[in-house]
Each structure stands twice: as C-alpha cells, then as structure tokens.
Amino acid sequence: MSETTPPTLDDLLADAPTNWGKWGTNDEVGSLNYLGTEQAVAAARLVQQGKVFTIQRLIGDPKGDPVWPGRSPAVRTQILDESSWDGEGAPQFPGGLHYADDKIEAFLQGSTQYDALGHVWYGGKLWNGYDARSTVGGMELASVEPIAQRGVVGRGVLLDMARFRGKSHLDAAETFTHEDLLACAAQQGVELRPRDILLIRTNYIELFFEDSESFYANFCEPGLVYSPELVQWFADMEIPNLVTDTIANEITIDPNNGVALTLHNALMRNLGIAFTEITDLESLAEDCATDGVYEFLYAAAPLKVAKGTGAPVNPLVMK
C-alpha cells in the first residue's frame, strides 16, 4: 500500500463507537429513538412568536437544482393542461371539468431529503449490522420508510458556520469540527444540549447558483471532518439528526486521510444518526441573526417510499 492510499473504512473506523443493537435487533430508525414525547413537548414550548420556516429547496428551480455528481435533477413533465381540451378526443367529464396534471422523474436523493439509515455502508454491513445484500433491488431493511412513518420532532439549533467565520459562504473543502460547532453556539448565545437536532449553515450552495460549472469542478464540499473525538461527541450528545445546507452534510473527501464521506459511515451507519441534506437555511439564518433566537421546534417527515434509499422532505421550523 502506497503512502497516499486511503485507509479502508473498516480500518479507519475499527474502534469507532456504534449503536448497533441498542434499540433491538429490528431497529430501523437509530438515533431518532432519542426523540420521544418529552423532547417533542419541550420543543413545542420553544414556539413563542408563531414564525414558520420551510427549509426545503425548490424542486425544478429555474436557476437549477444542486445534486450530488452523477445524479440528475428532477424532471417535471406536464401531462394535462388547458391545451389538452383543444382538440377532438379530449377527455370528457360530466359538468365540463378540466384539470392540470404532471409527474416528476427524480432521484430520491436529488432534492432536500432524508437519507435512509441503510443508504451507505462498508464491509458488507448496514446500520444495525444488517447484511448489505438486503439492499439488492430495494432496501429491505433500514429504508427511508420507517423514518417517514415515525416523523422527527425535537429541539433544533441553527449553527451558522458561515456567519461565525465572517463569510457569505464557506469555501470548497473548508472543514470544521465539533469544537467549532460549540464555539459557534457560544458566539450565538445558544446552548447545545443532548438530543438536539443540529442544523448547520454553510451557504456553500450559493456557489452553485453563481457558476455551476466551477461548483462541480474538483467537487469538494465544505463540512464537518472526521476525528474519533468528533464521532464520540456526537455519540455522547445523543444527536438524533444532522441537517445541513450542503449536498452531503460533510466534507466530500477527508483531507486527513483521503476517504470519501467518512461521516456518513461513522455517524449514520454506525450511530444511526439521520441525515437531512440540501436544505435551504437562508431565511431562517437571517431571522436568527435578527432576533438572536437560534433554538426552535423542528418537525419533519420524509415521503413514505417503500424500500427507498431516501425521500424528499420539506422540514418545518417554528419559533
């Protein structure tokens, strides 16, 4: 093995903590188990002003839809509209009903979305130790469906890393750690508590809208970077859900070891932390900077897609 060969995830994460078995041998929602009635009621009490934010990105944005390289944005096709009634053979309904219809063909991972816990793996095993062969032809285990059936409600905290670093957006390949999250929270005057849902703003996708060609050239998003201490912090804090405004929630290629999407494995596959990606945190961040309130009720449920590797979602934030 040459010096520059990245380690395997099996080797890199050999001693990393896991939550496999913690919620039984059939569990498919992982650290979302940390969110119970107590957390939902406490989060509801944070709604003081009646402000509502929806943090999904538009599907079919005229300016383009940012997606992971190799995926393509959703294609919406108009099936029926007023012109469908122009000629002979138009559909006929008693009373003269006309209507519009359309459909989309979309990557389930190609918009603001929840990843299924089984979406990524290494060493032939998914979340909770499930056999990776259970993904063949559709996710038999740890699909997005159990997350969708359950829903996610808890105390959300915005960590505005771009503002914290005094930038309009973080740069390609820029990293930050859990220590940076804590420093950001301290500067914002908000306490991070166990079982918080973390929403991290980088505003990196601004660069996609400025120049998508440059955005994809040498693609490496900014984000959290792996360390054993960071993984232990997420485990100790019992973080149920990591939400960011990047495509993959973490630095694409770890600059320290050359491994791709290490945290998808260390946090999602091993600890069962749900990942919510490609959110739009701009209006929320503006509001938090104005009123100084960085904690809120977070509520989300992805679409119920049987065997899905993920599913679109439009999470709600209420203050």
Residues binding ligand UVW (CB under 6 A): 68, 109, 115, 119-120, 247-248, 261, 264, 277
Q: How far is the CB of 115 from ligand UVW (least distance, A)?
A: 5
Q: How far is the CB of 253 from ligand UVW (least distance, A)?
A: 12
Which residue's Cβ lies closest to ligand UVW?
Answer: 248
Question: In the Cβ-directed half-sphere of 178, how many Cα atoms lie within 13 Å?
Answer: 17
H helix and E strand count, the chain: 10, 13
Residue (196 or 250) nearer to ligand UVW, CB: 250
Residue (205 or 248) nearer to ligand UVW, CB: 248
CB 157 within 8 A of CB 190: yes
Residue (9 or 261) nearer to ligand UVW, CB: 261
Q: How far apart (Å, rounded) are the C-alpha atoms in residues 309 and 319?
A: 31
Closest CA to 117 of 224, 240, 199: 240
Residue (68 or 233) nearer to ligand UVW, CB: 68
Q: How far is the CB of 4 from ligand UVW (least distance, A)?
A: 22
* SS3 of residue 44 by DSSP: helix
Residue type, 299: A
- Burial of residue 303 (CB within 10 Å: 0-12, 13-18, 19+) is middle
Residue type, 195: R
Residue (169 or 264) nearer to ligand UVW, CB: 264
Q: How far is the CB of 264 from ligand UVW (least distance, A)?
A: 5
Q: How far is the CB of 306 from ligand UVW (least distance, A)?
A: 19
